[in-house]
């Protein structure tokens, strides 16, 4: 006996870019879409007598495919500092927390994610846990640790520390080491390989030949491969090596855009991290200079994305969720708003990008991401009209129903509202204590400790924000130098 769900009388946006259809129903049989249309609610002769049908009234609401996030780091743990991401929290505990976080992602209307790299093989475990029904989370594909060189993203510590086992990256400085690492990761169950080129795209951490060798190895093993590539030269190498999709592409020359368009390789800009730091960062202590640098990078990215779209590049949706600036289940749908603002998409185009077009990161055949008969039944019902205001998708209270694999999901919103940040770097003492700062209140310590009678008590959490801010300021300065 099949299970049936009938979503009745809503305005259907099917994800293919087709115009919305008001007064439309969606019939789900098992984990598949059975029928879509104004008459799909007439189940007589379709649903066998005796089969139960779960009915959802969608009158006045929008029915659309669940969102897909191509860039969701399930194991990052809402990182405030690099050390939190790389050094602290055992992999056992990190896995449990990741399992908890993916439920938040699903709750926000995201029914599919791709994890482009993180700690150990946590992503593989989470994917399997979801598939087995141990964990409530979206459909998922995952990479393992980023493959980096001594010059790439994720080899950030002094050489005396190196790239520890617990890091989100793994070091490979020769082609042989890169190929060996890919073999190891594939043996351990990854769906894709993540290459971590330079942080800002201002130089090339890998040679084009090395990237090609990694691409060939991944493809020979029937796995896919993507790369953190912010600059033109990085994207050129990624295109030449025929990677499956490319992350970021912030500052692109016209000739690079031409080659990218011709290759048909999708580009995932992942604007959210930049957008949140630029627009909301100052509220948590990100300095204005840093804010301005991120805003500047966003403007450059906007120019690249407008040209890329004009040239016919497929832009897909990813958020870089997993940082403190991009916590789980909070801002995934804001990427659509940013695609409207920075890539010039209409809301309907942004929805197509975040559903139909991004589905390719889940499987090459794109078995979901559109409300069409035969597709996987991953559906959300939205109390509002995202075509009138794309931001309604960001308010979880408006995501009134989430259906995954044909099953209506239940959530405990009060539990999911809790947050579990990872341990910070270990302060011994967050500021310098001098005689004068203690007894004369002259501010001799960096924080100006006040007097012995009533010393100011420093706020460790706020101090953490300052360290993050200082690091961001350094990166912004580096960015300004290369601009």
Closest CB to Zn ion among residues 4, 76: 76
Residue 116 Cβ vs Zn ion, minimum distance, rounded to whole Å: 6
CA distance 55 to 53: 6
Residue 194 Cβ vs Zn ion, minimum distance, rounded to whole Å: 8
| Residue number, nearest CB to Zn ion | 320
Residue 266 Cβ vs Zn ion, minimum distance, rounded to whole Å: 16
3-state secondary structure the chain: CCCEEEEEEEEECCCCCCCCEEEEEEEEECCEEEEEECCCCCCCCCCCCCCCEEEEECCCCEEEECEEECCECCCCCCECCHHHHHCCCCHHHHHHHHHHHHHHHHHCCEEEEEECCCCCCHHHHHHHHHHHCCCCCCEEEECCCEEECCCCCCCCCCCCCCCCCCCCEEECCCHHHHHHHHHHHHHCCCCEEEEECCCCCCCCCCCHHHHHHHHHHHHHCCCEEEEEEEEHHHHHHHHHCCCCEEEEEEECCHHHHHHHHHHCCCEECCCHHHHHHHHHHHHHCCCHHHHHHHHHHHHHHHHHHHHHHHHCCCECCCCCECECCCCCCCCCCHHHHHHHHHHCCCHHHHHHHHHHHHHHHCCCCCCCCCCCCCCECCEEEECCCCCCCHHHHHCHHHEEEEEECCEECCCCHHHHCCCCCCCCCCCCCCCCCCHHHHHCCCCCCCCCCECCCCECCCCHHHHHHHHHHHHHHHHHHHHHHHC
Stretch that binds Zn ion, among 236-244, 312-320, 374-382, 472-480 (CB under 5 A): 312-320
Closest CB to Zn ion among residues 25, 226: 226
14 binds Zn ion (CB under 5 A): no
Stretch that binds Zn ion, among 26-34, 103-111, 120-128, 320-328 (CB under 5 A): 320-328
Residue 120 Cβ vs Zn ion, minimum distance, rounded to whole Å: 17
Residue 273 Cβ vs Zn ion, minimum distance, rounded to whole Å: 7
Stretch that binds Zn ion, among 104-112, 219-227, 317-325, 349-357 (CB under 5 A): 317-325
Closest CB to Zn ion among residues 74, 95: 74
Residue 318 Cβ vs Zn ion, minimum distance, rounded to whole Å: 8
Residue 117 Cβ vs Zn ion, minimum distance, rounded to whole Å: 7
Residue 373 Cβ vs Zn ion, minimum distance, rounded to whole Å: 35
Among 84, 191, 244, 320, binds Zn ion (CB under 5 A): 320
Could you tell me how many residues of this chain bind Zn ion (CB under 5 A)? 1
Convert residues 39-68 into a mask of x (bound to Zn ion by CB under 5 A) and - (unbound): ------------------------------
CA distance 252 to 163: 30
Closest CB to Zn ion among residues 320, 357: 320
Stretch that binds Zn ion, among 32-40, 302-310, 319-327, 452-460 (CB under 5 A): 319-327
Closest CB to Zn ion among residues 64, 297: 297
Stretch that binds Zn ion, among 45-53, 318-326, 333-341, 362-370 (CB under 5 A): 318-326
Closest CB to Zn ion among residues 24, 271: 271
Residue 73 Cβ vs Zn ion, minimum distance, rounded to whole Å: 6
Convert residues 357-396 into a mask of x (bound to Zn ion by CB under 5 A) and - (unbound): ----------------------------------------
Q: What does the binding site for Zn ion look like in residue numbers (CB under 5 A)?
A: 320
């Amino acid at each position: 006996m099949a299970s049936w769900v009938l979503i009745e009388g809503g305005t259907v946006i099917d994800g293919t870019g087709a115009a919305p259809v008001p007064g439309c129903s969606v019939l789900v049989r098992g984990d598949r879409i059975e029928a879509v249309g104004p008459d799909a609610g007439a189940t007589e002769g379709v649903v066998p007598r005796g089969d139960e049908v779960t009915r959802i009234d969608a009158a006045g609401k929008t029915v659309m495919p669940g969102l897909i996030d191509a860039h969701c780091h399930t194991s990052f743990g809402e990182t405030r500092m690099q050390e939190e991401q790389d050094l602290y929290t055992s992999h056992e505990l990190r896995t449990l927390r990741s399992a908890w976080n993916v439920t938040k992602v699903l709750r926000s209307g995201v029914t599919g994610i791709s994890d482009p790299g993180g700690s150990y093989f946590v992503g593989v475990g989470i994917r399997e846990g979801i598939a087995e029904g141990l964990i409530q989370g979206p459909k998922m594909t995952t990479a393992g640790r980023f493959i980096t060189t001594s010059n790439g993203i994720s080899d950030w510590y002094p050489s005396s520390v190196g790239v520890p086992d617990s890091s989100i990256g793994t070091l490979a400085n020769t082609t042989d080491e890169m190929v060996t690492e890919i073999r190891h990761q594939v043996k351990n169950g990854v769906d894709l390989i993540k290459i971590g080129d330079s942080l800002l795209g201002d130089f090339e951490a890998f040679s084009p030949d090395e990237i090609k060798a990694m691409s060939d190895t991944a493809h020979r093993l029937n796995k896919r491969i993507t790369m953190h590539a912010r600059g033109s030269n990085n994207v050129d190498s990624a295109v030449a090596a025929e990677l499956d999709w490319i992350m970021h592409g912030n500052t692109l020359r016209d000739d690079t855009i031409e080659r990218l368009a011709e290759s048909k390789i999708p580009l995932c800009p992942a604007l959210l991290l930049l957008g949140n730091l630029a627009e909301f960062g100052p509220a948590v202590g990100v300095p204005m200079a840093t804010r301005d640098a991120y805003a500047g990078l966003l403007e450059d990215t906007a120019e690249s994305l407008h040209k890329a779209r004009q040239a016919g590049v497929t832009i897909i949706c990813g958020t870089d969720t997993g940082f403190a600036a991009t916590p789980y289940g909070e801002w995934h749908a804001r990427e659509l708003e940013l695609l409207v603002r920075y890539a010039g998409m209409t809301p309907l185009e942004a929805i197509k990008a975040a559903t139909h077009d991004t589905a390719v990161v889940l499987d090459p055949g794109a078995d979901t991401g559109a409300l069409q008969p035969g597709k996987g039944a991953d559906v959300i019902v939205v109390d509002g009209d995202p075509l009138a205001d794309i931001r309604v998708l960001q308010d979880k209270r408006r995501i009134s129903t989430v259906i995954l694999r044909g099953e209506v999901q239940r959530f405990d919103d009060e539990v999911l509202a809790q947050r579990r940040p990872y341990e910070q770097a270990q302060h011994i003492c967050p500021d310098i204590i001098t005689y004068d700062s203690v007894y004369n209140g002259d501010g001799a310590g960096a924080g100006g400790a006040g007097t012995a009678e009533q010393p100011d008590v420093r706020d460790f959490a706020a101090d953490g924000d300052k360290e993050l801010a200082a690091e961001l300021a350094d990166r912004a300065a580096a960015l300004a130098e290369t601009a």
